[in-house]
Amino acid sequence: MRIAIIGAGFGGLAAAYDLCKAGHEVIILESADYVGGLASGFKEPQWDSWVEKFYHHWFQTDKYMLGLIRELGWEDRVYFPRPLTVMYDRGQFYPFDSILKMALFPGLGWGLDKVRFGFVGLFLRLTNNWKALEKTTADAWMLKWAGRNVYEKMWKPLLIGKFGPFYQQVNMAWMWARIKARTTRLGTFEGGFQAFANQFADRLREMGVAIRLKSAVKSIRRESGAELVIDSGRKETFDKVLVTTSPALLAKLCPQLPGSYLKGLLELKSMGAVVMVLSLKHRLSEQGYYWFNLPKEAGYPFLALVEHTNFVGSEHFGGDHIVYAGDYLEVGHEYFSMSDDELLARFLPALKKFNPAFEKDWVKKVWVFKTNYAQPVPLVNHSENIPAIQTPIEGLYFASMSQVYPWDRGTNFAVEIGRRAARLIAAESNSAIAG
């Protein structure tokens, strides 16, 4: 079978690997001039490692991602340091990445609130019944079981930070998945996620997969025959097509999809993201903290500050210190239309709160990355609204971040859904041959 995959993100690359191994002719069409999608990175000449445009790490529970890397024989290139995550309380930051540190966190006091926080966390870690949890919002569930103090101090800032105006609509299964599938040890690939994506793409090319960069797909149509026609500047026919872009883009690319499926795609909500990356002459966090969780009401102009070089050492970046300042936002938010200089002027004063010695002239270079599709928003009973991988158009498949639910999006689940889609396509191709 001749199969097109639209998108060379981690999902598309993983699907291509399995489909090519199953003996199919695979062509990846990618609009960008690089592979890796949302997990891609950039590099300065003096760096020996890539920096992800949007901060990225793996968890030890990321079995699909780590399993794929093992299959490829590159597990010796994955490493799991133990960077420090901190939580804000009344102007100070406190380590918050082990049970002991959580117990010592002053923000919850020393009484019942801490016990409730602990029990709710333990329950969510142990239960597998996310179906029951998706029937209610995280807001209502946490208020009831963790109590107002714990909710407002710990969980509400997280929900507001990630989902902004939708924070009271997000279902509790999202929170469950987040607590269930995360570890305190965080991992990366030697050279960065882009190094993995490049090496994976090279392996795919050796296997015979064609990866066509700068090939933006404009439309997908089923014509009278059994084949699908893709227009990416030139028209080509394929037996099967797997789309790995956002739901909104699939709806635009293929208006021929039946109304109910299109409606389902267009009704899915998601948040965008704006992330500024700065290279600094000096280390920002003197304590060596990696990840700062910041509540919006404390007045920071961003949700998270991440000092990447407290995770991957600055020796990999020619001594530069790399800092991210990022936020999840609705697409109409002013940050999307601000220039890089305007955004820098908004963000810079806040850096002094992480190190009073910080001065403007510490900044060597600034990059800003924006995406409309960064974080799907799962509403109550979301499992009923997930578009099927196999679309109603024969031969057309869809695998995106919006379908990995109940899990939260991540490269691990992009690999899982990409490979699941590949299995479906391969199984259908086999039955077509047998028939």
Ligand X SMILES: Cc1cc2nc3c(=O)[nH]c(=O)nc-3n(C[C@H](O)[C@H](O)[C@H](O)COP(=O)(O)OP(=O)(O)OC[C@H]3O[C@@H](n4cnc5c(N)ncnc54)[C@H](O)[C@@H]3O)c2cc1C
What does the CA dihedral 346, 352, 357, 363 come to, rounded to 10 degrees? Answer: -30
Quote the least distance from Cβ 416 to ligand X, whole Å.
10
Closest separation in Å from C-beta 109 to ligand X: 31
Distance between CA 53 and CA 247 in Å, rounded?
22
List, in order, residues 6 or more apart from 48 with CB less than 8 Å away.
Answer: 191, 316, 317
Q: Which of 414, 421, 422, 426 binds ligand X (CB under 6 A)?
A: 414
Check: CB of residue 246 under 8 Å from CB of residue 399.
Answer: no
Binding ligand X (rule: CB under 6 A), the pick from 410, 416, 419, 429 is: 410
List the one residue from 57, 240, 382, 419 that touches ligand X (CB under 6 A): 57
| Cβ–Cβ < 8 Å for 374, 143 | no
Instruction: Check: CB of residue 159 under 8 Å from CB of residue 271.
Output: no
Tell whether residue 192 is a contact of ligand X (CB under 6 A).
no
* Among residues 249, 276, 351, 368, the one that binds ligand X under rule CB under 6 A: 249
Asked whether 25 and 32 are in contact (CB, 8 A), the reply is: no
Residue 267, Cα to own-chain centre: how many angstroms?
A: 20
Whichever of 33 and 361 has its CB closer to ligand X, that residue is 33
* Shorter beta-carbon distance to ligand X: residue 240 or 409: 409
Residue with tokens 């990696």, as numbered in its chain: 290
Cβ neighbourhood burial of 146 (10 Å; 0-12, 13-18, 19+): buried
Residue numbers 287-326 binding ligand X by CB under 6 A: 326
Cβ proximity to ligand X: between 151 and 335 the closer is 335
CA distances from 86 to 32, 93, 307 (A): 35, 6, 12
Q: Which of 1, 9, 124, 153 binds ligand X (CB under 6 A)?
A: 9
Work out which of 38, 170, 211, 284 binds ligand X, going by CB under 6 A: 38
**Nearer residue to ligand X within complex by CB, 18 or 113:** 18
Cβ closest to ligand X, residue 175 vs residue 211: 211
Report if residue 374 touches ligand X, rule: CB under 6 A: yes
Is residue 86 a contact partner of residue 93, using CB atoms and an 8 Å limit?
Answer: yes
Interface region with ligand X, contact rule CB under 6 A, candidates 154-162, 219-227, 295-303, 410-418: 410-418
- Per CB under 6 A, 198 contacts ligand X: no
- Binding residues (CB under 6 A) for ligand X: these are 6-12, 29-32, 37-39, 54-58, 216-217, 244-245, 249, 273, 275, 326, 371, 374, 400-401, 409-412, 414
